[in-house]
Amino acid sequence: MRSLQRTPKAVAPLLRDSSLVWLASGIVGVSFGAVSVAGGLPVWVPVLMSLVVYAGSAQFSAVGVLLAGGGPVAAAATGLLLNTRTAAFSLAVAEILGTGRASRFLGAHLVTDETVAFALAQPDPARQRRAFWISGLGLFAVWNIGVLAGALAGSALGDTARYGLDAAFPAVLVALVLPTLRADAAVRRCALLGAALALAATPAVPAGVPVLLALAGLLLHRGPAPGAAA
pLDDT at 114: 81
Q: What is the pLDDT along the chain (230 residues), one digit of tens a residue?
A: 444 345 566 777 778 777 888 888 888 888 888 888 877 788 898 899 899 888 877 787 778 777 767 677 767 776 777 677 677 677 777 777 777 777 778 877 888 878 888 888 787 888 888 888 888 899 999 999 999 998 888 766 555 566 555 555 566 556 656 777 777 788 788 888 888 888 888 888 765 567 667 778 777 766 544 444 43
84/143 Cα distance (integer angstroms):
20
pLDDT at 198: 82
Query: For residue 117, how many other CB atoms are within 10 A of its CB?
Result: 20
Q: What is the CA radius of gyration of the chain?
A: 19
152/36 Cα distance (integer angstroms):
10
pLDDT in tens, 62-118: 787 777 676 777 677 767 776 776 776 777 777 777 777 777 788 778 888 788 888
Q: Is the pTM of this model over 0.85?
A: no
The size of the chain, in residues, is 230
| Among candidate residues 98, 107, 113, 117, the one with its CA nearest the CA of residue 28 | 113
pLDDT at 155: 60
State which amino acid sits at residue 103: S
| Among candidate residues 132, 136, 172, the one with its CA nearest the CA of residue 28 | 172
pLDDT at 3: 43
Q: Please enumerate, as own/partner, the contacts of 206-213 that have beta carbons within 8 Å and a separation of 24 or more.
A: 206/61, 206/78, 206/82, 207/57, 207/60, 207/61, 207/82, 208/57, 208/58, 208/61, 208/81, 208/82, 209/81, 209/82, 211/57, 211/82, 211/85, 211/113, 212/82, 212/84, 212/85
| Among candidate residues 203, 182, 230, 211, the one with its CA nearest the CA of residue 83 | 211
DSSP-assigned letter for residue 205: S
